[in-house]
Amino acid sequence: MKPAPFHHHAPTTVDEAVALLAELAPQDGRVLAGGQSLVPTMAFRLARPAHLIDINGIETLDRVAVENGKLVIGACVRHAAFHRPAVDGPLGELLGKVVRHIAHYPIRNRGTFCGSIANADPASEWCTLAAALDAEMVAQSARGTRVIAAKDFFAGIMSTALAEDELLTAVRLPLLAPGTRTGFCEFSRRAGDFAIAMALVTFRIDGGKLVEPRVAVGGAEPHARRLAEVEQALAGKAPSTAAFAAAGERAAELIDPMEDVHNSAQYRRDLVRAMVRRALEQAAA
């Protein structure tokens, strides 16, 4: 449980960080933010980065702000920043609802939002949220800055579109229109554990009908994603037990669940069915 030797670099600006990353990423350099995934992996010696580029000293990355109708979350913003509404309205409430499912308090005090996105664990709540809301990922490198849409960002189990020399400096979440309802449900063996399946939904109700429903599923497949077919089936329908049950049923059919020694594909389907339905009911309530 002692990490293999590594070099620690502590840049204080993003420019310095991306310069270091450009130089050291090819030599097995990794970014260290909250370290809640990387450090335990290093302790097990499953990860043995030769260099750690520690971004915790970059003050400009530790901010949450609304810009152009989007909530911009910097790379050093901790999960715990969302315990209280980070922004007024439904988005702040949703973030507050979701954050309570992320591990435990000490981990939330240290781990970062962007770190979770960059780590892209299939069971990450933030990744599910990013997929559901079509978040934008801001990737900066010595070569320049680009913005990657959520649907293009997540590539597989702990795999993203980020190049090795790119630093995820911020994630932008579109603010949710007033009146947007949100629901989030996950199932894990214990409170705070990696979820086996989760669902995040948003919609508005206009004239008794569901408007712009979004349904994303996480934990069950290699990466979180929206289920367009389920959303289309819900759009324009009246919120009802039957409609929500049908959505859960369809979601369970649509996914291609991961399977491992702890959880069968069938069980994950069962959970997705339940989580989608429950998240919809929670949002409608």
Give me the residues that bind other proteins (CB under 8 A), please.
1-2, 4-5, 44-45, 187, 189-194, 261-264, 267, 270-271, 273-274
User: With respect to other proteins, which residue has the nearer C-beta, 17 or 38?
Assistant: 38
Least separation in angstroms between residue 214's CB and other proteins is 22
User: With respect to other proteins, which residue has the nearer C-beta, 85 or 192?
Assistant: 192
Are 118 and 31 within 8 A, CB to CB?
Answer: yes
Cα first-last separation, the chain? 47
* Tokens 């959505």, residue located: 247
Least separation in angstroms between residue 223's CB and other proteins is 19
DSSP label at residue 78:
B
Are 171 and 138 within 8 A, CB to CB?
Answer: yes
User: With respect to other proteins, which residue has the nearer C-beta, 5 or 207?
Assistant: 5
Please choose, from the candidates 7, 20, 10, the residue with its C-alpha nearest in 3D space to the C-alpha of residue 140: 20
Least separation in angstroms between residue 58's CB and other proteins is 28
Least separation in angstroms between residue 138's CB and other proteins is 30
Specify the 3-state DSSP secondary structure of 38: helix
* Tokens 């079509």, residue located: 134
The CA-atom distances, in angstroms, between 41 and each of 35, 55, 167, 210, 262 are 9, 18, 20, 43, 20
Least separation in angstroms between residue 43's CB and other proteins is 8
User: With respect to other proteins, which residue has the nearer C-beta, 191 or 285?
Assistant: 191
User: With respect to other proteins, which residue has the nearer C-beta, 8 or 262?
Assistant: 262
